[in-house]
Structure 1
Amino acid sequence: MSLSDHPKAYGTAALTAAFVAGILVTLGFKDLYPELEDQYQRRRRRRKPRQSSSTESRRSSFFWGPVQLEDHESESSSAGSTAADNIRDGIVDGIEGCIGNTPLVKLRSLSEATGRTILAKAEFLNGAGGSPKDRVALHMIEVAEEQGLLVPGRGDTIYEGTVGSTGISLATLARARGYRAHICMPNDQAVEKSTLLHHLGATVERVTPAPITSPEHFVNLARTRALEHTASSTTASRGFFADQFESHANYQAHIKTTGPEILRQTGGNIDAFVAGAGTGGTISGVAKYLKDSAKLTRLRVVLADPQGSGLYNKVRHGVMYAPTEREGTRRRQQVDTIVEGVGINRITENFEAGRELIDDAVRVTDEQACRMARWLVEHDGIFVGSSSAVNCVAAVATALTLPRDSVVVTMLCDSGTRHLSKFWKQIGEMGLEEGNDDEEGAQRESESDLLSAIGLKSQR
């Protein structure tokens, strides 16, 4: 008897065959046609995100494999946004996109030595000029562009007086945005900084250190050069004086970026913020954001100040100089120290912006800074410059005044590669790099040795 004589049996057999065929298609289609799968996925990635219907999702899962859950709400919110797509794919728009969102690194050896958590913002990983000045330089340029003081492609030149890092950041970003850079700096700064500026295409003037009241002071000279450019130019180009010491765009850059990043990375669990001050933009901007905007009222803000700088006395005693000091007695005008980038003997607009929010200050000697820099290399594998070492000494000193398990955040400003001919040369001359490989194989110093080296006592 044939199946045609039994319609019910015929229908059952047809459904069974269709079901088996469906299973074979589902399990085997990708194996039979892998190149089609690849083509489909490439096309799918190129398409902008869009919210697919439940029918489309079921159809896709039937032909291409198991269902994958997707966040269509976030996709739809970024639909049509090229910038959002690029960020998600790890692409940033130009060198400016490499600035900010630096890691917050736990300094294990310092945390172990103090019994408190010491975290450091790795600003030397900023991708433009490799320092926190990247943030400042970018914001100053953006503000100048908004005000029409800088116009890309017009032939404008950015002028600045700097001891190094701000100039490097400005020189990098100037080229990226269609400008030139002219940097004036003291001739007692590490020569590798001016060499780097030259290779970045900047014009560099190394000048003899002079009082801030002198027209020959590197900051005043940069201002003069900018005015001369604008006055004498036979084209539409202009000279723009960035004025990092007094420009409010400096500390505002840290209110806008650094402060919010620290808050997010710590979840608000931070007991102290420690930083040095050259222009004063970093400590003022971060303090204003964390204390005023984020309302971390219990937060202690501590200034890290090198020897010879007047800011320690200003914070501690309300006056710039101690009774035993007087103007004109120092070896150099800025500060009598080998430390570069922090320390100053005048109150800038940027420092004044956050001065009332600074709770305390720690004075750091050159020897302490040198020993700390070497310690970080030996125990944490971190190679930084002089200002970072000053910050870390002050962070340890601050941590010891706080209860156990407190959290202290500081800044690692730039790499030690910018300080080879001066700061790290001094470390070598002190003999701190000798005897690292003894018979026991670079034996780690005890925690108490750190505190002894930098002249501090354990308060465990």
Structure 2
Amino acid sequence: MEYAKNILETIGNTPLVKINRITKGIEALVLAKVETFNPGNSVKDRMAVKMVDDAEANGSLKPGGTIIEGTSGNTGMGLALVAIARGYKLICVISDKQSKEKMDILRAVGAEVVVCPTNVSPEDPRSYYSVSKRLSEETPNSWYVNQYDNLSNSLAHYEQTGPEIWKQTDGKITHFIVGVGTGGTISGVGKYLKEKNPNIKIWGVDAYGSVFKKYHETGVFDENEIYTYITEGIGEDILPKNVDFEVIDGFTKVTDKDGAVFTRKLAKEEGIFVGYSAGSAIKGVLQLKEHFKPEDVVVVLFHDSGSRYIAKVFNDDWMRNRGFLETEVKLAEDLIGINEHELITAKTEELVAHAIERMKKYNISQIPVVDSKGFVGSLDESTLFKAYIDNKDIADKPIKEIMQSPFPMVKKNLAIDELSKLINRENKAVLVDLGNGKFRIITKHDIISAI
């Protein structure tokens, strides 16, 4: 009979899958190493087992101990499988930018999850680096994994992932492209492949807001490069010891939007349901296409599963709120789909206080004013502010005493370019006549959101 003695024995030997539609303009053969076929649904299963194996061997991790790690979710899942199979407890420290699915999955496999803020420096005591270290110092019989500086991470990929790719491509691989976070995958695979053939090019995919690309090119750790970004699993605001810049030929940066858009493309156009960093990786391949010749074999690694991003990348509202949803906007009526809420108005005889209350309630900056005949005026934040400076009792005055001219009225088929010209210092918004007595308001914010 053929069976695995436990779930850990099913890790590895993930398939290479040809990318067909997204890379249509590339003559080279592009193959994806789809790591979601691992039992924990990510590439991190490989190094999780290796790091625990080595910790057990050197006595860092003792029977019945507690494993503690700062993780973006996937390493935590791999460690959870090992903890279950070998009888350890697990505490995962995770940043609040990670998807809820990742946190729920970690809890489902028995991990204790501690959530920390994202937008703090690594040295901040609230960061998930600092909290992980503190918990390891406070918890008896515990072991702090530290995947960033634990070289068993890259060794796992040197011993497993690299040889698999070499064998699966029959040694014909010419380029390896992968997102870089801890650096273990690119460094381990890159080292193995370059030992086999020094001409193989190793490219890292980085995020905007991360330090890797500039540091590789200049040797300068530029703190001005560091800012908050949305992409999960790649990029860093530190230089992990696992990143071996010597085996990396170059980096390309991919925007948050492109990563998200191409993650969805992989699902819809290739049938490959993978995570956010996979979208970044395949976009990185497209950005590097001038480096490929027709006879080349390009391997790109997809880290994890799309199931961990259902509420984010695969959620239309989440994408739309960030301006990531690819919607062609040409006419005024196209913008209405982005701003569908009912038109909020105020009446001429109402008090200014009523208009202010309504603007606060609905979080709007301007409001049309109506009477029995229709639209007769408007109010916006700057008008109210100026009026208040002139008269502190303005809230008890009727709106008609301070209202401005009504917003311009346009037809729903007006081109966005023409509509945009109507929004200026005097007119903070435009009203769109949808017919049948229905109207909507379009502001500068709506137009910027659609760009």
TM-score by length of 1: 0.67
Render the CA deviation track for 1:309-367: whole Å, top value 9, x for unaligned.
1111122333233xxx7267x2xxxxx3221011012211000xx21111111111122
Between the aligned partners of 1:102 and 1:346, the Cα distance in structure 2 is 30
The code of the aligned residue for 2:294 comes to: R
The code of the aligned residue for 1:132 comes to: V
Instruction: State the aligned residue count.
Output: 324
Render the CA deviation track for 1:49-106: whole Å, top value 9, x for unaligned.
xxxxxxxxxxxxxxxxxxxxxxxxxxxxxxxxxxxxxxxx531221111101100111
Output aligned runs, 1:359-398, within 5 Å.
359-398=249-288
Between the aligned partners of 2:132 and 2:100, the Cα distance in structure 1 is 19
Between the aligned partners of 2:221 and 2:16, the Cα distance in structure 1 is 33
Q: Which residue of 2 aligns with 1:319?
A: 220
Between the aligned partners of 2:218 and 2:324, the Cα distance in structure 1 is 36
Between the aligned partners of 1:377 and 1:267, the Cα distance in structure 2 is 28
1:116 paired residue among 22, 28, 45: 28
Higher relative contact order by CA 8 Å / sep ≥ 6: 1 or 2?
1
Structure 1 pair 327–404 and aligned structure 2 pair: CA distance change class (3 A): closer
**1:379 Cα shift?**
1.4
Between the aligned partners of 1:118 and 1:393, the Cα distance in structure 2 is 12
Between the aligned partners of 1:427 and 1:270, the Cα distance in structure 2 is 35
Between the aligned partners of 2:58 and 2:238, the Cα distance in structure 1 is 28
Render the CA deviation track for 1:221-248: whole Å, top value 9, x for unaligned.
1122122112xxxxxxx10111101001
Output aligned runs, 1:15-94, within 5 Å.
89-94=1-6
Q: Which residue of 1 aligns with 2:45?
A: 134
Q: Which residue of 2 aligns with 1:145?
A: 56
Q: Percent identical across equivalent pairs?
A: 35
> Which structure has the greater CA radius of gyration?
1
Output aligned runs, 1:299-318, within 5 Å.
299-318=200-219
**1:278 Cα shift?**
0.8
User: Does structure 2 retain, via aligned residues, the 8 Å contact 1:374–1:433?
Assistant: no
Q: Which residue of 1 aligns with 2:237?
A: 345
1:273 aligns with 2:273: no
**1:428 Cα shift?**
5.3
Between the aligned partners of 1:431 and 1:366, the Cα distance in structure 2 is 8
Q: Which residue of 2 aligns with 1:51?
A: none
Greater strand share, structure number: 2
Supply the RMSD in Å over aligned alpha carbons. Answer: 1.8
Between the aligned partners of 2:83 and 2:320, the Cα distance in structure 1 is 36
TM-score by length of 2: 0.69
Give the gaps of 5 or more residues in structure 2. Answer: 329-451
1:213 aligns with 2:105: no
Q: Which residue of 2 aligns with 1:439?
A: none
1:282 aligns with 2:185: yes
Greater helix share, structure number: 1
2:294 paired residue among 373, 387, 404: 404
User: Does structure 2 retain, via aligned residues, the 8 Å contact 1:124–1:413?
Assistant: yes
The range that moved more, 101-110 or 279-288, is: 101-110
Secondary structure at the counterpart of residue 173 of structure 2: coil
Between the aligned partners of 1:281 and 1:220, the Cα distance in structure 2 is 21
User: Does structure 1 retain, via aligned residues, the 8 Å contact 2:263–2:313?
Assistant: no
Secondary structure at the counterpart of residue 287 of structure 1: helix
1:253 paired residue among 156, 161, 164: 156
Secondary structure at the counterpart of residue 205 of structure 1: strand
Structure 1 pair 431–259 and aligned structure 2 pair: CA distance change class (3 A): closer
User: Does structure 1 retain, via aligned residues, the 8 Å contact 2:22–2:270?
Assistant: no
Secondary structure at the counterpart of residue 423 of structure 1: coil
Q: Which residue of 2 aligns with 1:160?
A: 69
User: Does structure 1 retain, via aligned residues, the 8 Å contact 2:122–2:237?
Assistant: no
1:416 paired residue among 281, 289, 306: 306
